Chains A and B, each alone.
Chain A
């Protein structure tokens, strides 16, 4: 009962305090808002880069060319072995007849050359198109497939794929690092702003201590105040993100520069980012207040 009374008093006081010290609260709220907008931008960038790189990685395919004279049984045998192999996601068979038709349909030159070929003259080979679960294992999987009897050669864009994978890895790491660094910087920036706010109220803290309030009793109203500042501070970044990203998406029709780079659909993406911003705002606000008050509770 006593704890509930203290808690309700703390909540009441924190609301009062936010509005009573409005100019100082406004400073904290603006600081939270500005830094959260920067965090939002980097979050959106990171997720989109991640989305793009994953999409590219998903498209990378191993093409296993089978021996030219392979029979149906041989093909089935290879398929069984591929199915047993670990790390494969998807196996599609494409016969040389189908490939030939596709090539003829794609260009008249091909059509003129290829229309006179019969089955035994065709240099084309039956293929299995294989997608892997983890792009990083593509090299070793390709080697294992190449060693299967009946498989002639294996191609997956070797060299370039590895480069792409390591480049994407680097880009992702940089993005994540940036977001984490920004959140930490935000936390300290906000903590310092709140510290200035609380500095002006150290007399209040002194008096609270003097009359026998326990440290936790003193901290709770300030931590609640931090929470309120965090929520208020994240409103503008949330609105900016929601409307800004949606507008951006619509302006570029969901693509950036070319159809290769597709943007993440605004819904539910903007809500997820908003939720992350709100949580960061709240946590950082509470952490900032807690740190600042703690300083004045030491003797």
Chain B
């Protein structure tokens, strides 16, 4: 069974703007999936609906077995515990160290201290930041901050990792380093959905790529079939 299922998904904002039109999409367990498209094509809205930051107007969206369209506000946390989210602006708490930022995600879940310690060290190692545990966000480079954000997103062992332009603020080399980390996480079995503008990355990785245009899927490239030529659709 697919891990993420969208059926006739539609999102219309109160202003009347329709961001997503009758969208059907299946993402399988363990997939790495890029979502690309020009600004305003609805890619951010699509993933926001996946982690229930937005509610769909109609249609169905099932993430990890949870019907996101029907989930109540007070139960959103149940969905969020099944997935990790990474943003362009990292969303780290500046007053906490890298270690504390990651541990924060487990503390709010009420995990015991020892377990938190072990998990945080493990995940810091995975993102290559073992030596920076005590550094505060302002002491870290953009790439390192994003690694902390990724570590925080995966520390709870989610089945899905949603990335909203995670390399948007980073230079090419650092972006590729981040992609290496994400690929590593994907290899461990986590399904990754990543929204990006960076065609170089998409072209280099040649993973499944969904091209959105005006809230509709223009093309769904299977793994290994994405071609750079199609980039004319991305501004």
Residues of A that sit less than 8 Å from B by CB? 2-3, 5-6, 9, 20, 203-204, 206-215, 217-218, 297-299
Contact = CB atoms under 8 A, between A and B. Distances in A.
B52 interface: yes
14 contacts: A5-B110, A207-B93, A208-B108, A209-B76, A210-B80, A210-B85, A211-B109, A211-B152, A212-B108, A213-B108, A213-B109, A215-B73, A215-B74, A299-B55
The number of chain B residues touching the other chain, given as a range, is: 20 to 34
B85 A217 contact: no
Name the residue among A3, A206, A214, A218 with the largest chain B CB count within 10 angstroms.
Answer: A214
A206 B108 CA distance: 13
Contacts of A298: 73
A299 B53 contact: yes
Interface of B: 51-55, 73-74, 76-78, 80-81, 85, 91, 93, 95, 104-105, 107-112, 152, 156
Nearest to A13: B107
B109 A212 contact: yes
B108 A211 contact: yes
A206 B28 CA distance: 28
Nearest to B108: A213
B73 A297 contact: yes
Contact of B77 (A5, A204, A207, A215): A215
Nearest to A9: B107
Contacts, number: 61
B52 A211 contact: no
Nearest to A20: B95
- Give the dominant DSSP class at A's interface: helix
A212 B105 contact: yes
A212 B77 contact: yes
B93 A204 contact: yes
Contacts of A5: 110-112
A3 B109 CA distance: 9
Contact of B91 (A6, A203, A213, A299): A203
A211 B110 contact: no
A212 B83 CA distance: 9
B106 to A, nearest CB: 8
B24 to A, nearest CB: 25
Given A20-B95, A215-B73, A299-B53, 14 more contacts: A2-B110, A5-B111, A6-B110, A207-B91, A208-B108, A210-B85, A211-B104, A211-B108, A212-B105, A213-B77, A217-B77, A218-B108, A297-B73, A298-B73
A282 to B, nearest CB: 25
Contacts of A214: 74, 77
Contacts of B80: 209-212
A218 B110 CA distance: 12
